[in-house]
Copies of this chain bind each other. A is one copy, B any other.
Amino acid sequence: MRHLMSPLDFSREELEQLMDLAEDIKNHPDSYSEKCHGKKLATCFYEPSTRTRLSFEAAMLNLGGSVLGFSSADSSSAAKGESVSDTIRVISSYADICAMRHPKEGAPLVASQRSLIPVINAGDGGHQHPTQTLTDLFTIRSLRGEIKDLTIGLCGDLKFGRTVHSLINALVRYPGIKFVLISPEELKVPEYIREDVLEKNGYEYKEVDSLDDVMGELDILYMTRVQKERFFNEEDYIRLKDFFILTPEKMKLAKENMMVLHPLPRVNEISVDVDDDPRAMYFTQAKYGVFIRMALILTLLELV
């Protein structure tokens, strides 16, 4: 039995198979509409995350399966002091596969060690959110044909943004990727990402503090939220945030086939005026997240 704790749990070959399957699901959804008939997904969300939870639920329902679970810790036995290990043992009797979101790093891993059913880490604190990374990779591959020879800009909070770290870690397994890291000084990627991931693997990167300077080079622009609470003071936040807000004006500097991604939810870092630009692919990305989760559920349930 297999779990998914980190996007790196899959070898590149396995990842290709998973994405091939997601692509086939995307193109022939009807062929998969009864594959999980009689199977149950448990969504165990110890902290709310509507988007991720509903994406998993949509995936399971699309496969003809059904869903049970909880959407916050208040309504779970956690409030009575039960460990995740015990909860997953019981959930193992209720469902065939489990997607777990937990505020504590490592909680899904602990759960997976006692589980009798496959566990998918649906986000554990600031640590991992592997199905977001799979979504990002699949979106790039599906829209570009392959993940290769691309200049990828990552913009926003690169210091604390779990999504960005995870995506960089996943992309350094593909050839010809150049990274452009766009953030205020205070929110640059951590040293270990620069040294242990990018440099150690011999990947080209540069760090800049303004979107405008690099828009023209990018094949992909991956935007993330700059959360107010990351700044020491309100002034810094106001001074800096505009450098990292994507507007139609900035889009004019970009390549014609550039594509904009965003893990969502967005607050104001992408102007809504950009939404109608054909290069704005973040809602498509949300849609593709369902396909890759369908592929993942089928793979972990060994129904492929």
Contact = CB atoms under 8 A, between A and B. Distances in A.
A283 B94 CA distance: 11
Contacts of A70: 50, 54, 71
Given A38-B33, A40-B61, A265-B77, A69 B54 contact: yes
A93 interface: yes
Given A33-B38, A38-B33, A70-B71, A264 B54 contact: no
Interface residues of A, number: 50
Interface string A69-83: 111101111011111
A32 to B, nearest CB: 11
Contacts of A77: 49-51, 264-265
Interface in A49-91: 49-51, 54-55, 57-58, 61-62, 66-72, 74-77, 79-83, 85-87, 89-91
Contact of A48 (B50, B74, B265): B74
Interface string A25-52: 0000000010000101010000011110
A89 B283 contact: yes
Contacts of A71: 70, 75
Given A48-B79, A71-B70, A79-B48, A94 B265 contact: no
Chain A interface helix/strand/loop/mixed: helix
A48 B76 contact: yes
Nearest to A265: B82
Contacts of A72: 74-75
Given A40-B58, A54-B42, A93-B287, A266 B82 contact: yes
A264 B90 CA distance: 9
A267 B62 CA distance: 38
Contacts of A94: 54-55, 57-58, 290
A161 to B, nearest CB: 14
A286 interface: yes
A61 B85 CA distance: 24
Contacts of A38: 33
A75 B48 contact: yes
A304 interface: no
A95 interface: yes
B81 A267 contact: yes
A143 interface: no
Interface of A: 33, 38, 40, 42, 48-51, 54-55, 57-58, 61-62, 66-72, 74-77, 79-83, 85-87, 89-95, 264-267, 272, 283, 286-287, 289-290
22 contacts: A33-B38, A40-B58, A49-B77, A50-B70, A50-B77, A57-B94, A58-B68, A58-B93, A67-B68, A70-B71, A71-B75, A72-B75, A80-B265, A81-B265, A81-B267, A82-B264, A86-B265, A90-B264, A93-B283, A93-B286, A93-B290, A94-B290
